[in-house]
Amino acid sequence: MKVKTLAEVTDKWADVTPGRSAYYEKGAKAAGSDWEKGATEAKSSYKAAVSAGNIDAMYAGGIKRAGAAKYERKVTEVGAARYGPGVTAAKGDYSDGVAPMLDELAKITLPARAPRGSAANLQRVGVIATALNKRRLSLRAAGA
């Protein structure tokens, strides 16, 4: 069987694929409900995968395989340019995500402050942590 060289395949992929962004956008925009349905139905597969006996080794192996050099290269070559537009595009999502937490913080009545260094001041932190975690868990519950 005749196989193209690695350089030929890689060069063609890099030359042709960026021009297909309209195909990607059209297909991806129409796939939201399929993604949601499939991802929801895969919850038992997800649990089995993240509970597998070797998941920690697989996770570490994937990180080691990619390596720090790839991470840093991608930050420079891709991430930095996408950061600003990504933040702008995520403004509504950020607002939706932070709104329940700000709402919860506004409802909290903190215990009185104690003198600096007092262990009693940790109770103030505990009240905040407990309330925010309870809200976070309620938002993550199925159907929320």
Judge if 11 and 45 occupy the same domain. Answer: yes
Q: Please give the pLDDT value at position 141.
A: 82
24, 63: one domain: yes
Q: What is the pLDDT along the chain (144 residues), one digit of tens a residue?
A: 998 999 999 999 999 999 999 999 999 999 999 999 999 999 999 999 999 999 999 999 999 999 999 999 999 999 999 999 999 999 999 999 999 999 999 999 999 999 999 999 999 999 999 999 999 999 988 554
Check: CB of residue 138 under 8 Å from CB of residue 144.
yes
Query: Structural domain of residue 12, as residue ranges?
Result: 1-89
Residue 89 and residue 97 in contact, taking contact as beta carbons nearer than 8 Å: no
Whole-number pLDDT of residue 143: 53
Tell me what pLDDT residue 23 has: 92
Q: How far apart are CA 11 and CA 74, in angstroms?
A: 19
Shared domain for 131 and 98, answered yes or no, is yes
Neighbours of 132 (CB within 10 A): 15
Statement to judge: residues 75 and 18 lie in one domain: yes
58 shares its domain with 10: yes
